[in-house]
Amino acid sequence: MNRFMGLDASTQSLTAVIIDTEQGRVIGKDSVDFDSLPEFGCVQGVLPNEDPLVKHSDPRLWAAALEKLLGRLRDEGLDLSRVKAVSGSGQQHGTVYLNKLFPSDGNWRQDRPLKEQLEPMLSRATAPVWMDGSTTEECREIAESAGGIEYIQRSTGSPPIERFAGPQIRKFHKNAPELYEKTEIIHLISSFMGSILAGKNIPIDFADGGGMNFMNLAAGEWDERILKATAPGLREKLPALAPSWSKVGRIAPYFVSKYGFSPETELIAWSGDNPNSLIGVGAYAPGAAVISLGTSHTFFAPMNEPKVDPRGYGHVFGSPSGGFMSLICFKNGALAQEEIRKQAGINWNQFDQYLDNTPPGNNGNMMLPYFIPEITPLVSRNEPVYRGSEDFREGRDMPARVRAVVEAQALRLRLYSDWIEERSQLLRVTGGAAKSTPVCQILADVFNAPIERLEISDSAALGAALRAAHGAGQADWPELIETFCRPVPESRVEPVPENVRVYDQMLPIYAELAAEA
């Protein structure tokens, strides 16, 4: 038995990746889109709500997707009895509320689907997810009661954040105290999904627990002061905390009988999607950082110590490989580049040609790419800021605008990651724009660090599979990363010294422009 499964319950789908450590390859992969289960009323994984700030999902959807996915893997001929261990990933920050009926001994009934069995076990019918922004008042109340934003950030790695578990739990207690009282246990999405597989409550791992707004990072324990500020009796309603590599039990008999798992299949603690992605792209130790160039742009890196961002924009979680990880997210990512490309009326090959044919520093033309309100830094405007020549400002010099949006995105990544003490000697870049050599060259020059491009899909599910192998004692991190997280051959991009000097001089000017906005 040298096969390991990773599952990723993301916002819109559930994905499985199965690796074979002896063969050194992925031997199975499948995904269930949540829109393929319309009976739960979710659209792209979220229930419609008249309040645009409220974003909830139906926990039964995730259980139904799990059964559908495992059934497909079984029907595709994958021998699940050869899977030695399973771990998983869940979209961070979301919470699931269960009453005392939730099983504690693996006792799922064999004659009914999980979605039906779960329904009477939910003390709250819906689960707030990471996109929910309806708890601003609760963030303020927790900060005031716990002794200030600075204390919460210093203890937990983040200031009170609307999408985090703590403010969501407080809102539930305030709005539905009788249902809160009936709640026996509150899980993160990750520990909830792992608990379904175990048929019992499993711990929350340190990495995902760091995104709840009440786990003391340094101590690896719940912060009693913040718990009391959040809701009464909260400590008794939370699972235990455990290292990310913990063995938390074996798979429940339900999954052995129905899908063919071995009764010896071990479960390794689940974690959040960002911590799993950190592993899935090979950044298991300080010295390497990851830039994800997706719909949003994200910078994350391993850390030795839980040093926090004094400006409050960056977050610190636990790392699944030990230690800690930083994370900074920018909403104006791929869509900002797409908007400029549309304005220019060009394709992506021409976009790259514009980058190749404009000089580093862009002749002083600069942009703040605020096409939608930004979270890093907090900016409510939804139109860009331009500084430079008249042709640039008026949109007549589109090559300069193309370079301006890419340079701005690279400069802000560097500017708002400057609080991380461990300097990155290597950047691993993934996501759609990582395919562009000119984009990678700008990142290499701005950070003065070599770039390795990755073409790893489903990094959170892959990271979970690697964690399953590591937690089961199959292999150590260097061996797993070397085998499964190799960069694209001959894709390394080195910084150009003269360009590095240009961007070193440009960074304080960009910071001044950002401060003005």
For residue 251, the model assigns a pLDDT of: 97
Question: Hunting for tokens 């290499």 — which residue is that?
Answer: 444
Dihedrals φ, ψ of 114, to 5°? -60, -35
* 481 in a structural domain: no
Q: How many helices (H) and strands (E) does the chain have?
A: 19, 25
* 467 in a structural domain: no
Distance CA 71, CA 357 (A): 52
Q: Are residues 57 and 192 in the same domain?
A: yes
Q: Are residues 46 and 171 in the same domain?
A: yes
* 469 in a structural domain: no
Q: Are residues 198 and 312 in the same domain?
A: no
For residue 68, the model assigns a pLDDT of: 98
pTM > 0.85: yes or no:
yes
For residue 503, the model assigns a pLDDT of: 98
Distance CA 33, CA 11 (A): 10
For residue 335, the model assigns a pLDDT of: 87
Q: Kindly tell me the burial class for residue 393, based on how many C-beta atoms sit within 10 Å of its own C-beta (0-12, 13-18, 19 or more).
A: middle
Single residue among 230, 257, 275 that ends a domain in this structure: 275
Q: Which CATH number goes with the domain that contains 86? A: 3.30.420.40
Give the count of domains, the chain: 2
Q: Are residues 115 and 162 in the same domain?
A: yes
Distance CA 209, CA 216 (A): 9
* 462 in a structural domain: no
Domain span at 30? 3-275
Distance CA 225, CA 356 (A): 54
CA-based torsion, 244, 246, 247, 248: positive or negative: negative
* 38 in a structural domain: yes
Single residue among 242, 275, 308 that ends a domain in this structure: 275
Q: Are residues 203 and 337 in the same domain?
A: no
For residue 494, the model assigns a pLDDT of: 97
For residue 30, the model assigns a pLDDT of: 96
SS (H, E, C) 240-275: CEECCCCEEEECCHHHHHHHCCCCCCEEECCEEHHH
* 468 in a structural domain: no
Q: Are residues 226 and 301 in the same domain?
A: no
Residues 6+ apart with CB under 8 A from 148: none
* 113 in a structural domain: yes
Reported as a single tens digit per residue, the pLDDT across 360-369 is 999 999 999 9
Q: Are residues 244 and 155 in the same domain?
A: yes
Reported as a single tens digit per residue, the pLDDT across 405-461 is 999 999 999 999 998 877 778 899 988 888 899 999 999 999 999 999 887 778 899
Q: Are residues 312 and 266 in the same domain?
A: no
Q: What stretches in the chain show pLDDT beneath 50?
A: none
Single residue among 252, 275, 298 that ends a domain in this structure: 275
For residue 254, the model assigns a pLDDT of: 96
Q: Are residues 377 and 491 in the same domain?
A: yes
* 331 in a structural domain: yes
Q: Are residues 269 and 301 in the same domain?
A: no
Reported as a single tens digit per residue, the pLDDT across 469-514 is 999 998 899 999 999 998 888 889 999 999 999 999 999 999 999 9
Provide the mean pLDDT of the chain: 94
